[in-house]
Structure 1
Amino acid sequence: MSKRYEPQNIEKKWQKIWQDEKAFAATDDYTKPKYYALVEFPYPSGQGLHVGHPRPYTALDIVARKRRMQGYNVLYPMGWDAFGLPTENYAIKNHIHPKIVTKSNVHHFKDQLQSLGYSFDWDREINTTDPEYYHWTQWIFLKLFKAGLAYKKEMPINWCTSCKVGLANEEVVNGVCERCGSPVVRKVKSEWMLKITEYADKLIDGLDGVDYIERVKTSQKNWIGRSHGAEVDFSLKDKPEKLTIYTTRPDTLFGVTYMVLSPEHPYIDQYKDEIKNWDEVCAYREMAARKSDFERSELAKDKTGVMIDGLSAVNPVNGKEIPIWISDYVLMSYGTGAIMAVPAHDERDWEFAKKFNMPIIEVVAGGDVQNEVYTDVAEGTLVNSGFLNGLSVAEAKKKILEWLEENHVGKAKTNYKLRDWVFSRQRYWGEPIPIVHCDKCGYVPVPEESLPLELPDVESYMPTDNGESPLAAMTDWVNTTCPCCGGPAKRETDTMPQWAGSSWYYIRYTDPKNKEALASKEAMKYWLPVDWYNGGMEHTTLHLLYSRFWHKFLYDQGVVTCPEPYQKRTSHGMILGENGEKMSKSRGNVVNPDDIVAEFGADTLRTYEMFIGAFDLSASWSQEGVKGCRRFLERVWKLQDSLVDGDSYSKELESKMHQTIKKVSSDYESLKYNTAIAAMMTLVNEFYKAGKVTRKEFETLLILLNPVAPHMTEELWADLGYEGRLYQTAWPEFDEEKTVEAVAEIAVQINGKMRGTIKIAKDADKETAIAAAKEAVADKLTGNIVKEIYVPGRIVNIVQK
């Protein structure tokens, strides 16, 4: 009898061996084929790992281990996204310096990851709070600044009332802070911005050349929101100014019956003396100012507004005077802060027109409007549209664009929903922005040779009520000299957002100890782009978009050697509580992976996380499912008691072996980890059914299972005297011809009724098949046989009287 399966002893033993042998370190041998597998590095919170973390880590660990066995030089790195608000908020609450909090959290996280046996190359570990790392984060910022893509601007920002920090649009979810869930209000601040809009086209067009799952591509395209239309000038009646609007449907200009301005539009203040209902306008503006952009632009909300008495516009295509309204659903931060309203063919305009009793004119035939319903017509024939009547929508768009340009009242325009990236944070725990302000020279970059500009130690890192960073109080640090003129200057006291360090970390992994550059050209040319990157869908319009922007900028600067950072991007589903709800402390349904490892072992946790369901879909945790995976591993362990000599597959199981190799190899590469494990479970059942397993069959099973359950398989490999280390073994290959079953199970009928089955060779002749069938149903053959029918590989039918 074999020894007992005791994962607690086995797992620590092999983790130490792998560490001592540097089993998973990527090499600098650039002649080998490379494979770069990447998972999003974690934010090291005080809570440590939750059971959601191991799902993507195990998935890519499987791929990394398999690729090493196939002869690749594999880079599978890990590090820490350690700047940012959660650590600072924890530090403030518990009166512990963020640096100390970070160090403690990283240590705990690393212990947990290592306890799960991941094949990370820990020699390449990075930490965004390390000055040697953020030296190059600051260097990239200076490159952006010198290229005119980093600038400071006075603007209304999203202000978290709890974190007391400005947020990018992407960090505001449903009108609240993505991090803490507190209300977000508008506040005017001077902010550093990154001109990501300059790269809008490249960010969309670059998606054509990468292997991203479709919903990731769609999410990015929708967020950037490229649209083709026209800018059109509506003159203000009896005024020299014009209202410029952007529309994707210039063909509907004859249907414009009113205009709407953002309550913040500068023309309102400019003409306040001519606005007869100024008090009503002011009251509405004050109400709008108390709402977030999300609340204002929410489609489902009730439409509100005030018509400006004293200002009107003129429709350029027909000369008609139309009223101007203000409404909070129009934002100054998007487009021009003014829109034309075509209520017959826009739902929001129609609702507004119905509420305030405005005219509705159908201009694209496609439904009976009758001031009752709007028609969202993308195709149709133009009506009530002067010189456009009778044209199709496509023809009308072309003709109206020509007319607008000829009459100097408009032009073709491509527009984007994407806004520039708010890059300032008025907090302490982030990378200092390497800029000084001089009254004479303006904003001046810190010299590159003086980087890193280190984050100074502060006694108080509490957020300030006036919205300034805690660094602003450090006058000795703030007051400096201008690198340009040598005169007095002040350092920038805002810090970078957490997204800065994570926008380029995948580059640093390729050469993490380089002191002369963010990475050597040789290392970048070999390792980049990342071959497979897995991360959460929630980061598609944040981190993923930001890092693609930085990479494309660095490519244009000649710093990196490829135009895209990631060749393949996939996303995983969440692991929910047993009750099907998102795991949270308040719901009491959080599962700690440490507890699972302690009770069942890391290999069981890894196996269960991969077996729980389709990788890209959410799945509910099941303790019974965990126990089932442990039982499977126990069955594999006990197979050693059924081991027989044999350096080949048995004839009975040869096809099954080749089928399993083929399926597991394919499923590991296509996110079908659950079906790969199911195939191995089926194979194990076949071994038990046969009552034996040859050494060659067991060897193959151990290799196939190793990426999922590396500790147990490595232990069995060593105990049974297989050659070398399992992690260094070649991945098994399958013979396509042998994946086809040589034996067929066919039905035996008597007078057309099923009476039994037989197993025979697929190419058996009629005589052999009939003989086997008669033997199988001999007790049922009681009459005279008058006919014997054999359909090869399917049926034997014996007809008797």
Structure 2
Amino acid sequence: MVRSYNPEEIELKWQAVWEAEKTFHAPDPTPEEMAAGKGGHTYVLEMFPYPSGSAHMGHVKNYTMGDVIARFRRHQGNRVMHPMGYDAFGLNSENVAIQTGEHPAVFTERAIATINRQLRRLGVAIDWDREVVTCRPEYYKWTQWLFLQFYKRGLAFKKEAPVNWCPSCQTVLANEQVIQGCCERCSTEVEAKKLKQWFFRITDYAERLLEDFDKLEDWPERVITMQRNWIGKSVGGNVVFRLAPRGAENGQLDPADPTGGTEITVFTTRPDTLFGATFFVMAPEHPLVEEMVKGTAAEEACRRYTWQAMNTSYIERSNAEKEKTGVFTGRYVENPVNGALIPIYIADYVMMDYGTGAIMAVPAHDERDFEFACKFGREVIEVIASPDEFKNADGTMKEAYTGDGLLVNSGPFNGLFKTDAIRKVTEWLREQGKADFAVNYKLRDWLLSRQRYWGAPIPILYCPTCGEVPVPDEQLPVLLPDITDYAPKGKSPLAAAEHWINTTCPVCGGPATRDPDTMDTFVDSSWYFLRYTAARRQDLAFQKDQADYWLPVDQYIGGVEHAILHLMYSRFFCKVLYDLGLVGFEEPFKNLFTQGMIYYKGAKMSKSKGNVVNPDEHVAKYGADSLRSYILFMGPAESDAEWNDQGIEGVNRFLNRVWRVVNEAVDAGRMAAPAGAAAGTLGPLPAESELSPAAKALLVKVNQTIDKVTVDIDQRFHFNTALAAIMELNNELAAARGGQGGGLEADAAGRRVLAEAVEAMVRLLEPFAPHMCAELWEMMGRERIWDQPWPVADGRFLTLDAVEMAVQVNGKVRDRLVIAKDASQDEVLAAAKALSGVVKHVEGKTLVKQIVVPGKLVNLVAK
């Protein structure tokens, strides 16, 4: 009698086994193994979650994908490290604390416990002994230690700079955390402020971040493109413009002008267009602006405009559609190619965070400059031969031409094409000391300090005598104090914690104060993958030889939204640690897969939209294996997918069918070891000559399925098509074991092939539905399916030399025929008419039509 499938009972049983024996713990490598280097072991990792409450369906997809890969690699004989942790500092927990009065640590630890329970209930094969939580002192001690290593190397530094300020979160944001001019967390429009803040000098690594894309074995091109564009390498020249003394434009020089002759460097990718520069534009916040207009008629207008620009959002200033505004400063610079004096404006479309904060304006060949020139009546000089459609009837430009062409109106460089002209103009100016070849990057240093409570304190002290003092290693961690007022006030809440902020200088013993800011949470997540290798060590952040053994991460899984934040920061960290001699590799993640999102009712799942699907409810109703399998069957793993309740019901029915097929095979005694075979095995397959065409067809289907599922998991992340192939195998198996005349059960060779198919199906399904397959494996008289080698396709049975044909009588399928592909029409008809399912429908009747569609169909019309 077939036992009923009870997911909850089965899943809890096997989860208890795995928990008790620590099945998925990855032991530390021995010294000999570390000396042998990489090989025979695999590091699988999903981006760790922010514990904001409970796991959602996106988490289920992410960690189930990683689990399938981890289990698959284990079956392939690898020692697998598949750890878990929590990115636990951050604004969300702090905002909850502000709203409820509950300490962020309490909320965070409760959320961690909830997600832990959910992941365990899903049966994810995690090494829980390696769990890390970034808000716990045993972790952030080493975040602080790493900060100090950067600091000692000059890569962590403090400076006053224009920063992105979120008025809602009351904290600064890194450039990467500003999305279309708004805070990535709360969507509030970001303001510009000038503050003294801590930075990491990521710009020192811009070129290596670009060059080392070649070391990434399998990263989505989309992610690489996003990082490449964010780093924004431009090749051109630094050109020096000299600020003309006041009054130079009319010959009435001001002898008291201290700024006359000051050099202003401009970075340009188009030195070939210098002869067409007819005015000069500086960012309003450029440090020279205030000094050069001081005491002039333009001072007040420039001051007002600068204030207005600094309170205009980044997105508005960078909007190409925005009407161009600006103020004439009353000052001029000398064009280095011809000595012409060109007027200086300040305009908010020029930003201090790109290039040098000043540009030469060539209105004939730049759309923004053309619009500005038209508004302010500046001259437009064509220096790249432009097509007639860009010109008015009188030959003047009616719009900017930004294409290529030959130089005109450019003195000795007329007739040169762009590429040659760029080089020759730059060389000519370099000989005069007015220019040099240069490379520029859009990437800016990583602003890491935050004026919030829930983060790792910055381990720096300020002493009136000694100045800026790093906290000694033996005094780490600098613990977060318990406070009750977390409300944002524009400065860190820690500044008000007098018992904490006042301390003693470790150098002179005098009074000192702590830095009141905390670190950006992306600092925590830029090295957590290393901490897993030594999660319980109290004496070090990670051990180099162990880190070198496990890393780079073999398979990393996470969202594409992290392309220019976490992923780029982690690459930067890894390169610095390599330079410090702390690790032996420069890239942290060898292979990266970015999964799609789960949508419901046409939108990304969100509590605010009321369209969240609770994983717990579906686990309770259908079981973890059904949820795991459905989440991967929904569609291509890299694509967004729409949740459908009917879909999980369908997958649940499939698992029930598998359960019945295997139970019936066990009850029939087909899965028992035959006489003379080792326990838990099926013994050798019959000789090929003993196999009927139907048995051979099923054996081919088994091996084709093994081959497809292996490739789909190993090389493609096509989990949906892997599952579809297993479903097809189950259908074939169900059809072959019964049917007319007893099907394959009618002879010993057929029964042995049926058993082979059943066993292979359970082994292939195990990474997706591990609990049910562990139970079925045990019912088959076998042990520990999670330790079994992955099935390997038998090359002899990957192609079919027989075909299966439907046999119809009077338009209805009555049986199926398996026959050699090269059988003649007469042989096909004779075999079809002999089938038991056909005989009873044609017996005593006359066959008036006999139609054969080769390889597909036999149709008999009987009267």
With structure 2 as the length reference, what TM-score do the two structures score?
0.86
Aligned partners of 1:299, 1:599: CA distance in 2, in Å?
53
Q: CA deviation at 1:64?
A: 0.2
Other-structure match for 1:662: 707
1:726 aligns with 2:785: yes
1:167 is matched with which residue: 173, 178, 182?
173
For 1:377-404, what per-residue CA distance to the aligned partner results, in whole angstroms no more than 9, with x for missing partners? 2x43222222222222211121112112
List aligned pairs for 1:121-132, cutoff 5 A.
121-132=127-138
Distance in 2 between residues matched to 1:775 and 1:711, nearest whole Å: 44
Q: Provide the residue aligned with 2:301 in structure 1.
A: 280
Does residue 374 in structure 1 map to residue 400 in structure 2?
Answer: yes
> How much has 1:795 moved relative to structure 2?
12
Q: Does the alignment pair 1:613 with 2:658? A: no
In 2, Cα distance between the equivalents of 1:773 and 1:525? 67
Q: Distance in 1 between matches of 2:294 and 2:198?
A: 35
- Which of the residues 695, 700, 714 maps onto 2:760? 700
Provide the rounded CA distance (Å) in 2 between the counterparts of 1:331 and 1:712: 60
| 2:418 aligned residue (385, 390, 393) | 393
Q: 1:227 aligns with which of 217, 234, 242?
A: 234
Deviation at 1:349, TM superposition (A): 2.2
Structure-1 residue corresponding to 2:591: 568
Q: CA deviation at 1:530?
A: 0.5
CA distance in 1, matches of 2:10, 2:349: 62
**How many angstroms apart in 1 are the aligned matches of 2:462 and 2:268?**
40
Alignment of 1:150-549 (within 5 A): 150-210=156-216, 211-238=218-245, 239-273=260-294, 275-308=296-329, 310-368=330-388, 369-370=390-391, 371-377=397-403, 379-463=404-488, 465=489, 467-549=490-572
What CA distance in whole angstroms lies between the structure 2 residues aligned with 1:699 and 1:758? 25
Q: SS of the residue aligned with 1:509?
A: helix
Equivalent position of 1:34 in the other structure: 41
- For 2:761 and 2:496, the matched residues in 1 are separated by 64
Q: Distance in 2 between matches of 1:130 and 1:296?
A: 41
1:344-395: CA deviations, max 9, x gaps?
A: 3223223333343433333233523322232222x43222222222222211
734, 738, 744: which one aligns with 2:803:
744
Give me the whole-angstrom Cα distance separating, in 1, the residues matched to 2:401 and 2:83.
54
- Are the structure 2 counterparts of residues 29 and 560 from structure 1 closer, same or farther at C-alpha, using a change threshold of 3 Å? closer
1:627 correspondence with 2:649: yes
AA at the equivalent of 1:287: Q
Tell me if the contact between 1:2 and 1:640 (Cα under 8 Å) persists in the aligned partners. no
Provide the rounded CA distance (Å) in 2 between the counterparts of 1:251 and 1:782: 82
Backbone CA RMSD of aligned residues: 2.5
My pick for the range that moved more, 704-713 or 344-353, is 344-353
**Compared CA separation, residues 700 and 303, structure 1 to 2 (3 A):** same
Equivalent residues of 1:124, 1:512 under 8 A apart: yes
Counterpart residue identity of residue 586, structure 2: P
Mind listing any 5+ residue stretches in structure 2 that lack a counterpart? 34-38, 246-259, 392-396, 672-681, 687-694, 739-752, 808-814, 834-845, 859-863
* 180-189 or 67-76, which deviates more: 180-189
Whether the aligned pair in 2 keeps the contact of 1:760 and 1:769 (CA below 8 Å) is no
Q: Secondary structure at the match of 1:227?
A: strand
- Assess if the C-alpha contact under 8 Å between 1:758 and 1:773 holds in 2: no
Secondary structure at 2:416's aligned position in 1?
Answer: coil
**Structure 2 SS opposite 1:102:** helix
How far off its partner does 1:43 sit?
0.7
State the structure with more CA Rg.
2
* Equivalent residue runs for 1:4-19 within 5 Å: 4-19=4-19
Report the number of matched residues: 774
- 1:600–1:302 CA distance, 2 compared to 1 (3 A): farther
**8 Å contact 2:45–2:82 — kept in the other structure?**
yes
The separation in 1 between residues aligned to 2:804 and 2:425, in whole angstroms, is 71
Q: Which amino acid aligns with 1:472?
A: A
Matched with 2:678 is none
**How far apart in 2 are the matches of 1:95 and 1:81?**
22
Q: Measure how far apart 1:757 and its partner are.
A: 11
CA distance in 1, matches of 2:356, 2:785: 64
* Alignment gaps of 5+ in structure 1: 749-755, 797-801
Aligned partners of 2:710, 2:199: CA distance in 1, in Å?
46
Q: Which residue of 2 aligns with 1:672?
A: 718
Q: Structure 2 CA distance, aligned partners of 1:759 and 1:14?
A: 41
SS at match of 1:433: coil
Q: Percent identity?
A: 48
Listed one character per residue, the Cα deviations across residues 80-107 of structure 1 (whole Å, up to 9, x for unaligned) are: 1111111011011100111111111111
- In structure 2, the residue corresponding to 1:101 is in which secondary structure? helix
Tell me if the contact between 2:817 and 2:831 (Cα under 8 Å) persists in the aligned partners: no
Shift of 1:420: 0.6
> What is the SS of the residue equivalent to 1:682?
helix
Does the Cα contact within 8 Å between 2:3 and 2:663 map onto a contact in 1? Answer: no
Q: Which residue of 2 aligns with 1:584?
A: 606
CA drift of 1:580 comes to 1.5
Q: In structure 2, which of residues 69, 74, 80 is the aligned counterpart of residue 63 of structure 1?
A: 69
CA distance, structure 2, for counterparts of residue 770 and residue 641 of structure 1: 41
The alpha-carbon distance between structure 1 residues 795 and 576, as it changes in their structure 2 partners (threshold 3 A), is: closer
In the other structure, the counterpart of 1:20 is: 20
Counterpart CA distance in 1 for 2:857 and 2:480 is 79
| TM-score (norm. length: structure 1) | 0.92
Contact 2:426 2:435 in 1 (8 A): yes
For residue 332 of structure 2, give the secondary structure of its aligned residue in structure 1: strand
Distance 2:187 2:500 in 1: 33
Where does residue 677 of structure 2 map in the other structure? none
Task: Tell me what 1:753 maps to.
Answer: none
